[in-house]
Amino acid sequence: MPRIGAFNLHAIDAGTLRLDGGAMFGIVPRTLWERRMKPDARGRITLQMRCLLLEGEDRLMLIDTGAGTKTDEKFNDWFALKAVDPGEAIVQAGFLPDEVTDVILTHLHFDHAGGSTWRKGESIVPRFKNATYYVQRAQLESARAPNAREAGSFLPENIEPLSACGQLHTLDGPCNLVRGVDLNIVHGHTDAQQLVRVSGNEGSLVFVADLIPTIHHVRPPWIMAYDVRPLVTVSEKRAFLDEAAEHSFTVFFEHDPVIEIANVISGEQGVRLINPRLLTEL
């Protein structure tokens, strides 16, 4: 079992969805991106919803929750959504949903936060009843009063039940959440997205969320049309990759359909990935 510092690491499969390939790659011509990710007849590419479970320090910490299973048939068809309940996925990893102590939400778009709540009878309630959910205050404010570009990505049923039950905890800026788990903030994709770094003597692994959704988004200009501040994303990605190469970070990809992790190095050709593989090979 891979381990960094005090934590055992478990990749959690929360299912797949499909998003428009052109939107996922922005200004990159289709002739380039479709060589790497083949679209379906509706121009959509398959993306994984991959969460990360940290086991250690008397905690069970989940990073993101996928889309969840509350959505209706029309929504599921639009996104070709094949969601896995994150609680069931955690059971497959050998744990119980009620054992989850913390949920770190990188941001509140539906494919990252939808599994935070579920239907129980006629109500929608937190999926992890004993967990504290962490989100940046600026992100929560954006979700509650969204701009036109993001309005369809923020669903109140994924957020408000957490607040109503007193389980939603807001943070203001980067911080050390617990020993060996640090949160850093980026603003290009959406306001105050949290990147999670897990560190120990073995090195550092960073959950890069939608800063670098797949291995094909490593090049700084390869960014999503979904990003609210594209040039900020380019700058943030360059800065992060330079730091990752300098300190030999391992990066964890939330949306790549095949690769879970890779190492970042710097060479004559600039910053690039090496050793793309599965987390179990760490």
Residue 282 has pLDDT above 70, yes or no: no
In this predicted structure, the answer to whether residue 1 has a pLDDT above a threshold of 70 is no
| CA dist list (Å): 276 to 118, 221, 241, 255 | 34, 21, 15, 14
For the chain, the average pLDDT equals 96
For residue 17, give the H/E element and its range: strand 7-20
Residue 252 CB partners (closer than 8 Å, separation 6+): 11, 50, 52, 205, 206, 207, 208, 260, 261, 279
Question: In the predicted model, what is the mean pLDDT of residues 93-114?
Answer: 98
Q: Is the pLDDT of residue 22 over 90?
A: yes
What is the rounded average pLDDT of the residues 170-176?
98
Q: In the predicted model, is pLDDT for residue 82 greater than 70?
A: yes
Indicate the pTM of the whole model: 0.97
Residue 32 buriedness (CB in 10 A; 0-12 / 13-18 / 19+): exposed
207-260 pLDDT, tens digit per residue, is: 999 999 999 999 999 999 999 999 999 999 999 999 999 999 999 999 999 999
To the nearest whole percent, how much of the chain has pLDDT over 90?
A: 92
Strands, E assignment, 22-166: 44-56, 59-63, 82-83, 102-104, 117-120, 123-126, 132-136
d(CA 154, CA 132): 20
Give the pairing type, strands 102-104 and 59-63: parallel
Q: How far is CA 30 from the centre of its chain?
A: 25
CB 54 within 8 A of CB 100: no
pLDDT at 273: 86
Mean pLDDT confidence for 122-137: 97
State yes or no: pLDDT of 272 exceeds 90.
no
**How far is Cα 96 from Cα 268, in angstroms, rounded to an integer?**
47
pLDDT of residue 198: 98
Regarding predicted confidence, which is higher, 270 or 219?
A: 219
